[in-house]
Chain A
Amino acid sequence: NAGVMQNPRHLVRRRGQEARLRCSPMKGHSHVYWYRQLPEEGLKFMVYLQKENIIDESGMPKERFSAEFPKEGPSILRIQQVVRGDSAAYFCASSVTGGAIGNTEAFFGQGTRLTVV
């Protein structure tokens, strides 16, 4: 049973380009979380999705950032017109359910390191 798969592992973009980060959850998992981590800092929540639904996007910047989790295929985090401040590690995690207890354990992918030059 493959774990959470993220790609690419490293992504370099010039200022103004678009970055697309992909996350395939573990088999049987229908809940996906995206987090951003700056060097020497904690994990900052960005967005929480279920299949075809955004449940909570309170951590997403209002502009340039969007996320989706279609019925088929991976979850995508899209950053338009990237700036140097977007450089960070972006982690995706998945869980079986989003309920209060039980089966809520979330497992992380290896992350995508985005560098904006």
Chain B
Amino acid sequence: QKEVEQNSGPLSVPEGAIASLNCTYSDRVSQSFFWYRQYSGKSPELIMSIYSNGDKEDGRFTAQLNKASQYVSLLIRDSQPSDSATYLCAVKPNTDKLIFGTGTRLQVFP
């Protein structure tokens, strides 16, 4: 079992819709969770961090964490073509290294 799993996609949504990106992790002691966005040929950019169960909202982005289910998700409301990118889920077990999933490619079409 991979430490951090994501569906590779592509996930295609129309402009204005809600995009839902999902991630599961294997290490129960994980405490910190992050979502990064990576455009093709560019470096990953941090867009959300979440540390406790529940929802965390920042603009059009909402991160959701369920530690009991070992599940973290990212919702993007009012999706725009500029949101088209690969979204990387990252998990930090305790004081250890930051582990990334392989990413989900999101395509927002006009």
A111 contacts chain B at the CB level, 8 A cutoff: yes
A48-B97, A91-B44, A102-B51 known; A43 vs B88 contact (CB < 8 Å): yes
Tell me the chain A residues, 42-66 only, with Cβ under 8 Å from chain B. 42-43, 45, 48, 55-56, 58-59
Tell me the chain B residues, 52-110 only, with Cβ under 8 Å from chain A. 88, 90, 92, 94-103
CB neighbours (8 Å) of A111 from chain B are 43
The answer to whether B46 touches A106, judged by C-beta atoms less than 8 angstroms apart, is: yes
The residue of chain A having its C-beta at the shortest distance from the C-beta of B43 within the complex is A108
A76 contacts chain B at the CB level, 8 A cutoff: no
CB neighbours (8 Å) of A69 from chain B are none
Q: What are 17 inter-chain pairs, A to B, with CB distance below 8 A?
A: A35-B100, A41-B102, A45-B99, A48-B96, A48-B97, A48-B98, A56-B96, A56-B97, A91-B43, A99-B95, A100-B94, A101-B31, A101-B32, A104-B32, A105-B49, A108-B44, A109-B43
Write out, one digit per residue, whether chain B residues 28-48 have a CB within 8 A of any chain A CB (1) or not (0). Answer: 000110101000001111100
The answer to whether A100 touches B100, judged by C-beta atoms less than 8 angstroms apart, is: no
A7 contacts chain B at the CB level, 8 A cutoff: no
The answer to whether A100 touches B98, judged by C-beta atoms less than 8 angstroms apart, is: no
CB neighbours (8 Å) of A99 from chain B are 95
* Interface size class of chain A, counting residues whose CB lies under 8 Å from the partner chain: 20 to 34
The answer to whether A101 touches B43, judged by C-beta atoms less than 8 angstroms apart, is: no
A98 contacts chain B at the CB level, 8 A cutoff: yes
The residue of chain B having its C-beta at the shortest distance from the C-beta of A42 within the complex is B102
A110 contacts chain B at the CB level, 8 A cutoff: yes
CB neighbours (8 Å) of A59 from chain B are 97
CB neighbours (8 Å) of A67 from chain B are none
A21 contacts chain B at the CB level, 8 A cutoff: no
The residue of chain B having its C-beta at the shortest distance from the C-beta of A41 within the complex is B102
Of B51, B96, B99, B101, the residue contacting A101 (CB under 8 A) is B51
